[in-house]
Amino acid sequence: MSDLTVSDQIDNVLHETRVIAPPEAFAAQARVSRERYDELYRRSLGDPDGFWADVAGELDWTTPWRQVLDWQPPHARWFVGAETNIAHNALDRNVARGLGDKRAIVWEGEDGEVRTFTYSQLLAEVKKAANALTALGVQAGDRVTLYMPLVPEAAIAMLACARVGAVHSVVFGGFSVSALADRLNDAQSKVLITADAGQRRGGLVNLKANADEAAKNAPTLEKMLVVCRANCDAPMQPGRDVWWRDALAAADAEHEAAALDSEHPLFILYTSGSTGKPKGVLHTTGGYMVGTYLTTQTVFDLRDDDVYWCTADVGWVTGHSYSVYGPLLNGATVVMYEGAPNHPDWGRFWDVIQKHRVTILYTAPTAIRSFMRQGDDLPGRYDLSSLRLLGSVGEPINPEAWMWYARVIGGNRCPVVDTWWQTETGAIMLTTLPGAHPSKPGSAGLPMFGVEPAIMTHAGTELGPDEGGLLVIKRPWPSMFRTVYGDDERYRRSYWEEIPGVYFAGDGARRDADGYVTVIGRVDDVLNVSGHRLGTMEIESALVAHPSVAEAAVVGRPDEVKGESVVAFVLPQVGYEVDPVALRAHVSREIGALARPDAILIADALPKTRSGKIMRRFLRQLAAGKEIQGDTSTLEDPGVLERLAATPFV
Ligand code: 6R9
């Protein structure tokens, strides 16, 4: 019998009103009860300094803070004057409190190989890697770029950087040569850590070859550390390239973590914005550490014996905060799986869960929808009874996918937490707490401690219950990013001046009378394809960089599995023919396969206003196959929409 209470109140098909109480057995033993949440949340807003000092006090600091928060809008400094080290807190601290023999990372390769690191073993590796970085000339503050498959060395490299105070910048292994080169240059990286290849869908992705290409256009790069993941036969450039295992073998085994200022930069992570150039989101040490520590512990209700699996690649922020830092800070056992969810078939995730007795699963709606399409049989063939909690992140989860996840994967026994946050926020901002709060499928839920959300108009007027508007955060929080690397002006403008005085998230949302926030999606020119952020401008600039394209406009189209897919309208260059196959390959090369347009329409004109602005609203309607709606009178060429509607996508 199910212990989920579903109050089926679908009084209006347009309105999801199911309310699902937390499973009783779970609620009875939850770390945070409803009352405790209310009390802590109230304190986190009423006495933020006291609240955050208490949380931070659970971690090690070599120098205490003078002040919890120094807020000079829009710049915040948290734990002012304090010194700490996040790698020390994730490793040495856990070994010191008796977790040395506990498994820290259980890694499974796509080929089925399993490697396990206890906290002591992980610490030993990180110490050697830190010494190896120092031997390569890396100093505190230097930027180190990672371009790696999801292997344990990726986490080890991140922690080693943190240990010496180097700023890591992880570039997703699926990104192209030029995307990598741009990021190396923007960060002015001194060292690149990569692998000879990564395994993906049974094949090999030649990361080292891409790294070599990118390095040709990255003048600041001095050294390349290369992990052997495949055949160890990558060509090595003498004087520049060093095999990871040689560097570690030569490194001293002892290493003391650097005492770093709380505001010392920890990492840069590039993400798409509404203009062409990806932004380097900069996070610092103390606040990020405290934020990821607390949210992992409370949102995932962490217990000593949990086996925790966040499926995100370390190339994304979810992989930073919830595959590496947050769970390791809490001394959890973290599962990492290198490969694709459908290799050798769509049962792979369930196989990983069964094999490693995973108790907490954190994944993305796009994955859930892909699994849903395969039906209930496949997961039914595996023993998923170890699971006790499920999480979702990356994009809005549609209620049907939520229900399927809870029923088929969670066996109606596991609460589902739908967590809203961003690269910029560093940690989970909105969610329900499992065991404390009922869930409303499709709605992320309530604010985490210290988070004060509001729904506003563009003019800054706060809206009431159920009114749609823009999601903002009204006060600083510890894990907030500190700036856009190298472009503080963009930090001010894009996030704090759009609606003066508050943090503008770029998402549209509404909040109901119970305070539950439902995030609807981006309101800017950012697409969310399979949970990954892509700027339309980024893809447009890649398209127009192709000789056959004179002009391009990119919009998103609702997609059953990916959430959104990329649709491109292109205007051919005079004297050229657009070859859709070549154009898709070109976008893959320029950005990465995830930006490749699903549909291309070769147009003779684009719908523009007389002032030359492309009216994307109409393109979105065309892309979705909808009737054109809205005022077309400002169009320069009124016939254009009809012609576009009559042209097939290729
Ligand atoms: C963590 C992460 C951030 C954007 C964000 C929003 C969307 C993420 C969501 C969600 C609705 C959720 N998003 N989680 N929308 N419900 N639970 O995904 O960071 O890659 O920076 O993307 O993703 O649109 O603004 P990031």
pLDDT at position 284 is 98
Report how far ligand 1's centroid is from the alpha carbon of 271 (Å). 12
Strand partners, 227: 195
Sequence-separated (6 or more) residues with CB below 8 Å from residue 487 = 279, 280
pLDDT at position 276 is 63
Find the residues whose C-beta lies inside 6 A of ligand 1.
271, 316-318, 393-396, 418-423, 444, 505-507, 519, 521-522, 528, 533
**Cα 512-518-522 angle, rounded to 5 deg:** 135
Report how far ligand 1's centroid is from the alpha carbon of 521 (Å). 8
92/8 Cα distance (integer angstroms): 49
Contact criterion met (CB below 8 Å) for 196 and 228: yes
The torsion angles phi and psi of 207, rounded to 5 degrees, stand at -65, -40
pLDDT at position 525 is 84
Q: What is the pLDDT of residues 1-11, one digit of tens each?
A: 233 333 333 33
Q: What is the pLDDT of residues 574-591, one digit of tens each?
A: 899 999 999 999 999 999
The CB density around residue 577, as the number of other CB atoms within 10 Å, is 9
Closest residue to atom 22 of ligand 1, CA basis? 422
Closest residue to atom 5 of ligand 1, CA basis? 422
Closest CA to 270 of 596, 591, 597, 598: 591
3-class DSSP state of 215:
helix
User: For residue 597, what are the CA distances in angstroms to 172, 363, 565, 587?
Assistant: 19, 24, 7, 8
pLDDT at position 123 is 99
Q: What is the ipTM of this complex?
A: 1.00
The answer to whether residue 14 scores a pLDDT higher than 50 is no
Q: In a mutational test of the pocket of ligand 1, which residue from 393, 398, 523 has the highest number of ligand atoms less than 8 Å from its CB?
A: 393
User: For residue 596, what are the CA distances in angstroms to 476, 556, 589?
Assistant: 36, 12, 9
Q: What is the pLDDT of residues 379-417, one digit of tens each?
A: 999 999 999 999 999 999 989 999 999 999 999 999 999
The torsion angles phi and psi of 103, rounded to 5 degrees, stand at -70, 125
Closest residue to atom 16 of ligand 1, CA basis? 396
pLDDT at position 253 is 98
Closest residue to atom 3 of ligand 1, CA basis? 422
**The tokens of 330 are what?**
């809490």
482-494 average pLDDT score: 97
Report how far ligand 1's centroid is from the alpha carbon of 187 (Å). 24
The answer to whether residue 138 scores a pLDDT higher than 70 is yes
The torsion angles phi and psi of 211, rounded to 5 degrees, stand at -60, -40
Strands, DSSP E only, in 326-463? Answer: 333-337, 360-363, 389-393, 416-419, 430-431, 446-447, 453-456
For tokens 């959890």, the residue is 332
532-549 average pLDDT score: 90
The torsion angles phi and psi of 260, rounded to 5 degrees, stand at -115, 145
Closest residue to atom 17 of ligand 1, CA basis? 420
Tell me the one-letter amino acid at 588.
S
Report how far ligand 1's centroid is from the alpha carbon of 445 (Å). 14
489-506 average pLDDT score: 96
Closest residue to atom 13 of ligand 1, CA basis? 395
Q: What is the pLDDT of residues 225-271, one digit of tens each?
A: 999 999 999 999 999 999 999 999 999 999 999 999 999 999 999 99
Q: What is the pLDDT of residues 51-67, one digit of tens each?
A: 999 999 999 999 999 99
pLDDT at position 510 is 95
Q: Pairing mode, if any, of strands 114-118 and 360-363?
A: unpaired
Q: What is the pLDDT of residues 170-210, one digit of tens each?
A: 999 999 999 999 999 999 999 999 999 998 888 899 999 99
User: For residue 204, what are the CA distances in angstroms to 197, 198, 230, 238, 588?
Assistant: 6, 5, 8, 24, 17
Say whether 596 counts as a known binding-site residue: no
| Angle subtended by helix axes 285-299 and 48-56, to nearest 10 | 80
Closest CA to 311 of 322, 300, 301: 322
- The residue ranking higher by pLDDT, 473 or 538, is 473
Its sign, for the CA torsion 84, 85, 88, 91, is positive
pLDDT at position 466 is 92
Closest CA to 327 of 352, 308, 353: 308
Its sign, for the CA torsion 506, 510, 515, 518, is negative
435/342 Cα distance (integer angstroms): 32
Say whether 134 counts as a known binding-site residue: no
Sequence-separated (6 or more) residues with CB below 8 Å from residue 72 = none
Contact criterion met (CB below 8 Å) for 568 and 553: yes
pLDDT at position 421 is 98
61/68 Cα distance (integer angstroms): 13
Its sign, for the CA torsion 25, 29, 35, 41, is negative
pLDDT at position 275 is 66
Contact criterion met (CB below 8 Å) for 405 and 368: yes
290/52 Cα distance (integer angstroms): 8
Q: What is the pLDDT of residues 276-317, one digit of tens each?
A: 678 999 999 999 999 999 999 999 999 999 999 999 999 999
Biggest CA pair distance of the chain:
73
pLDDT at position 255 is 98
140-161 average pLDDT score: 98
Report how far ligand 1's centroid is from the alpha carbon of 505 (Å). 10
pLDDT at position 521 is 87
For tokens 């209620």, the residue is 399
Residue 638, CB half-sphere, CA atoms under 13 Å: how many?
A: 5
3-class DSSP state of 601:
strand
Strands, DSSP E only, in 13-112? Answer: 19-20, 67-72, 75-80, 83-84, 103-108
Its sign, for the CA torsion 363, 369, 373, 379, is positive
Q: What is the pLDDT of residues 598-647, one digit of tens each?
A: 999 999 999 987 777 788 889 999 999 999 988 888 788 889 999 999 99
Which domains are delineated in the chain? 24-509 (3.40.50.12780), 530-646 (3.30.300.30)
Task: Return mean pLDDT, the chain.
Answer: 94
528-552 average pLDDT score: 90
454/372 Cα distance (integer angstroms): 33
